[in-house]
Amino acid sequence: MGRFAVNDGLVGRPVMRVDGRAKVTGAARYPADDPVPGALHGFLVTSTVARGEVVGIDKSAALAHPGVVAVYTHADLPRLTVPTFPYIKGFIPLQGTAVHHAGQPVAIVLATTVEQAGEGANLVRIDYRAEPPTASIDDAPQPPHLPKPFRNRPNEIARGDAAAALAAAEVRLEARYSSPPRHHNPIEPHATTAQWDGDSVTVHETAQGVNLTRSVLSTAFGLPPDRIRVLAPFLGGGFGSKGPVWPHTILTVAAARLARRPVRLVLTRAQMFTLTGHRAEFRQHLRIGATRQGKLTALVETTTAQLSRTEESIFNESDSTSTLYDCPNVHIRQEGVPLDLASSSYMRSPETTAHFGLETALDELAWQVGVDPVELRRRNHTAVNQETGSPIRGKRLLDCYRIAAEAFGWSRRAPRPGATKDGDEYVGWGMATEAHTFAAAPATPPVTASVTIGADGRAVVRIATQDIGTGTYTVIGQIAADALGVPLDAVTAVIGDSALPYAGVSAGSATIASITGPVDRAARAARDAVVALAVADPRSPLVGVPAAEVVTAHGHLFHARDRERRDSYRAVVGRHGRPVETTGTLLNAPGHSWGAVFLEVRVHARLGSVRVTRVVTAHDLGRVMNRRTARGQVLGGVTWGIGHALMEHTAYDRSTARVVNPNLSTYLVPVCADTPAVESHFVDHQDPDSTALGARGFGETPITGVPAAIGNAVYHATGRRVRDLPITRDKLL
């Protein structure tokens, strides 16, 4: 079939979210919204010690409490199989007596109401044999070690002879950087509702991956995947925390099976600080060799991250160090230290922590050699993949530097730190490169979309992806409407259900990269099928027209050279007498998106407070599918970058290894008052290596450079270099 005209180019336009009205009116139903007849409410009893063993449980008072139906412990639950990725806990609670971290579930209470379940949980008495825990890398008795690779990505990378190049370098820089633990804190708490029907179970889950959740439950319970259905039609944010599957999900499903009734469990905010992952405590030692002109000759990096006692994954934090700049000699070691804390996980771009050190070090190098920070990055720009040597044909990072610098007015930057003061505030400008690797979807099973066109001429796209607040519903509609040549409101996207055609997790900035091709192919196949019906139908005005000469737009089919000969999707499918159904599949490869962020800070001379007052960004994400939703990702990335740099910090009591700020009143996150206006630009082009209509994954890119840009601006404002995040007043006064 020929390529047909499309619908005035919906792809790329700043289309309003199709689910916006449903969300603001309450019509959008989240996993814990709808009541389930006969359901019990679950509440977890969690350990008060961080290391040790449960030696006794008294649940009599809880069982006597009004409304409490059951209290399950390790003595009650059946033996379950510990799944592998994306279950990154390494063990299932309530399968034994060992305690690996504070806040670990040791019992689950079921009751008629959530209040009764919580009250019952407070009445369960647990006796422990406690051991002294370790809560900080500084306190660890054992040295760091090289853990197993995460998903086949090595934790040690060597290219060239970094040691020799460093020793011979004309200019050397050595610095250490650190970041504290942080937690995701989506506004929607994690929730699971499980309902068994014989040997099959339906799970309503706050999941970034309905199919990954199904896979984990299949392993844990020994069930065929087709006996498990996972639903997540809407999600109130995840930021990585809802990508893995966590113990509360497995425990809820197990409790529902034992109770023979549906069970709903919603985590408290405090429980989310111990049960759903976090960004690990992180240390970074960087040694850089360069020429006097600032050209990199050696990069040596050693990072140390917190591990748990049961899981050793490190999430490729150093990808930027290895690949972002042209450097022939690189040596990277990603080490870990087991602590008595819950397992860490990926959070808002895992690379952000190491990226802070790299982009700060480059700023330090720029000052050391007397080269403008933007020019230094231009001199070290690479147009080839540093690991494979193959060309990167679609990279437009140099354009990002130029566009953002011009829009920001970088050429007017003061030549020395501390030179600009406005009243009581020092003013500083900083910048950083942004980069993130987006993931490839698995080849088996392949990501697949289906399109059904009914007798009303409307199209339904089905694919088991998720909308975690990023606009997936909208972009699916744009892709399908363009391919079919129908109005956007004639397309309905059905997602968030593992019973639909397969798709992967909405994490790793992989959604657009992985689903665009299948949706486009399925829609084009549906259009081809309808055209074939029309040109073969004696009742159609298009009968006998070569299919390649039929174009589609606005829900109609036209002869390309005689627009009076026309038909409609509704008429063609209506005469056909049954819906037209097609599928499409297409694999995607991993890749990168890039950008540059320039910003201004103001530092109060007497108070030490830091305000970010202006931000300009430019990003290369290939083809921009929807400028409105893409800008939303930029705003979110800038907001989280401000939090990462200036306020977010999970504090642990080093004697008990318990979180001391497990709430949003003491764990500070940015609010609207902390976030300035953001001027965002896009280098919009079709990446020739993209299978997603020229687009790339993008969601996590806009956070990566913001923390370093803030730190660099603070240095420009004050002359003080802060290498240990967050940048708080005590470090500036």
Residue bearing tokens 């298009």? 542
> What b/e sequence results for 57-80 when a residue is b if at least 16 CB atoms lie within 10 Å of its CB, and e otherwise?
bebeebeebebbbbbbbbeebeeb
Q: Which of 188, 281, 317, 700 is catalytic?
A: 700
Strands (E), 117-199: 125-130, 156-159, 171-179, 191-197
CA angle 500, 503, 506 (to 5 degrees): 120
Strands (E), 210-295: 228-231, 263-266, 282-290
**Do 217 and 202 contact (CB within 8 A), yes or no?**
no
How many other C-beta atoms are found inside a 10 Å radius of the C-beta of residue 733?
12
Give the single-character DSSP code of 17.
Answer: P
Q: Is residue 460 helix, strand or coil?
A: strand
β-sheet with 421-422: strand ranges across: 421-422, 425-438, 591-604, 610-620, 678-682
Burial (CB count within 10 angstroms: exposed 0-12, middle 13-18, buried 19+), residue 412: exposed
Nearest to 144, CA basis, from 153, 156, 132, 157: 156
Q: Active-site residue 359, yes or no? A: no
**Do 44 and 107 contact (CB within 8 A), yes or no?**
yes
CA terminus-to-terminus distance, the chain: 69
Q: Which two tokens stand for residue 660?
A: 């001391």
Task: Compute the distance between CA of residue 31 and CA of residue 310 in angstroms, rounded to an integer.
Answer: 29
**Do 84 and 313 contact (CB within 8 A), yes or no?**
no
Give the strand pairing for 200-205 and 228-231: parallel
Phi, psi of 566 (to 5 degrees): -145, 155
Q: Is the dihedral angle over the CA atoms 711, 398, 624, 467 positive or is it negative?
A: negative
Task: Compute the distance between CA of residue 392 and CA of residue 240 in angstroms, rounded to an integer.
Answer: 28
**Do 461 and 491 contact (CB within 8 A), yes or no?**
yes
**Do 488 and 15 contact (CB within 8 A), yes or no?**
yes
Rg (C-alpha) for the chain, rounded Å, is: 27
**Do 181 and 281 contact (CB within 8 A), yes or no?**
yes
Known catalytic residues?
A: 700
